[in-house]
Amino acid sequence: MKTKALGTSILFHLILLVTVILVLFPVYFILQASIRPGQALYSTELSLLPTNPTLDNYRYMLTERPFPTWMRNSLFVALFTTSFTLIVATSAAYAFSRWKFIGRNVWLMIFLALQAFPAVLTLVPIFQILATVSQRTPVNLLNLSGLILAYTSGALVFTIWNMKGFFDTIPYDMEEAALIDGCTPTQAFLRVILPVSTPGLAITALFGFLAGWSEFAMANVILQKETFYTLPVGLYGLQENYRVPWGWFAAGSLMAAVPVMIMFFIAQRYLVGGLTAGGVKG
């Protein structure tokens, strides 16, 4: 019995080890490519790290490419998308969770069903709408602000459904007490419900940020000038050449990936509670 458990334990750890190696290999690969001198990846040497490591690729990306601009653009888009999504979607989710009004479930269903439309085919009409507004009014939307509006709208449905599920798990009694004490419904929402919704809000913020930081297709259509490029558009552009400059791409990728990886690991403990609160119960 004892030896059998030991055997199983070894097998389990072995499976985990193999998985982790497969998971980490691309990360290791990018890391070593980013500190390798030159752009070649084709050396057959088997050493774990390149023989003359250098930070040249990072220096090049930071000083001779508009990489800092791309990063600033991505940060700008991601932060505004996150805040708008949080404000707009959380309040809507609260209304859908708490108040009874005509067609409440129908609206939720419609929101979800609209997502069934092939997103790539909305790219042209969305570009048209933003272009029309930019031509007819003094507001220019063919830039980062148009992108933020489009991303926020795109993130609404997932966030509303997720946050509504989360609010549903919070008992009514909590607001009732506040309402009896003389709070307005909005005060009850802001002061009583939001503070106990941290896991849901953390996940909403995380996914909003990730979407703004990493989205490619829409940014590629809407952003026409290189000064507006976000990280995915800029880094993908590096790839389009005949010979891919791997060292630059790797250094840029690493700088683009590390901030979101850190955020992800900070928010990790909320992943389960924040994602499944809505779906699990029942």
Partner 1 sequence: MGVETLQKRYGMLLAYIGPTLLGVFIFSIIPILYNIYLSFTNRNQFRFMQCPEGIFYDKCPSKGYVFVALENYKKLLGDLIKPETLRALVWFGVIIIALYLVYRVVSRLLNQRTNLNGNSWALIGVAGLGLLAWFAAPSQDALVSLRESGDFVVVMSRTTIWTVICVSLFFLVGLTLALILNSPLVKAKGMWRTLIIVPWAIPYYISALTWKFFFNGEFGVINNILRQLGWANPPTWLNEPRLAFAALVIINLWMSFPFFTTIILGALQSIPREMYEASEVDGANWRQQLGSVTLPLIRPAIIPAVILSALTTFKIFESVWMVTKGGPFGSARTGATEIVMVFAYNQAFQKFNFGYISAFAVILFILLFAVTIWQVRQSRLLATETS
Q: Give the footprint of partner 1 on residues 54-73 (CB under 8 A).
A: none
C-beta closer to partner 1: residue 205 or 275: 275
Residues within window 212-251 making contact with partner 1, judged by CB under 8 A: 213-214, 216-217, 231-232, 235-236, 239, 244, 246, 249
C-beta closer to partner 1: residue 56 or 168: 168
Alpha-carbon dihedral angle through residues 221, 227, 229, 234, given to the nearest 10 degrees: 120
115 binds partner 1, rule: CB under 8 A: yes
Candidates 78, 86, 92, 223; binder of partner 1 (CB under 8 A) is 92
Burial (CB count within 10 angstroms: exposed 0-12, middle 13-18, buried 19+), residue 214: middle
What whole-number distance in Å separates Cα of residue 265 and Cα of residue 260? Answer: 9
Candidates 109, 139, 174, 177; binder of partner 1 (CB under 8 A) is 109
Tell me how far, at minimum, the Cβ of 184 lies from partner 1, in Å: 9
Residues within window 29-48 making contact with partner 1, judged by CB under 8 A: 29-30, 41-42, 44
Which spans in the chain are helix H? Answer: 2-34, 56-63, 67-98, 104-114, 123-136, 144-168, 173-180, 185-187, 198-214, 217-222, 231-239, 246-267, 271-280
Candidates 52, 118, 137, 138; binder of partner 1 (CB under 8 A) is 118
C-beta closer to partner 1: residue 177 or 244: 244
Count of residues that bind partner 1 according to CB under 8 A: 96
140 binds partner 1, rule: CB under 8 A: no
Between the two ends of the chain, the Cα-to-Cα distance in Å is: 39
78 φ, ψ (degrees, to nearest 5)? -65, -45
Torsional sign, CA 98, 100, 106, 107: negative
C-beta closer to partner 1: residue 47 or 105: 105
Which distant-in-sequence residues (6+ apart) come within 8 Å of 146 by Cβ?
A: 130, 134, 222
Residues within window 144-183 making contact with partner 1, judged by CB under 8 A: 149-150, 152-154, 156-157, 160-161, 165, 168
What whole-number distance in Å separates Cα of residue 2 and Cα of residue 25? Answer: 34
C-beta closer to partner 1: residue 183 or 271: 271
Q: Which stretch binds partner 1 (CB under 8 A): 3-11, 47-55, 65-73, 196-204?
A: 3-11
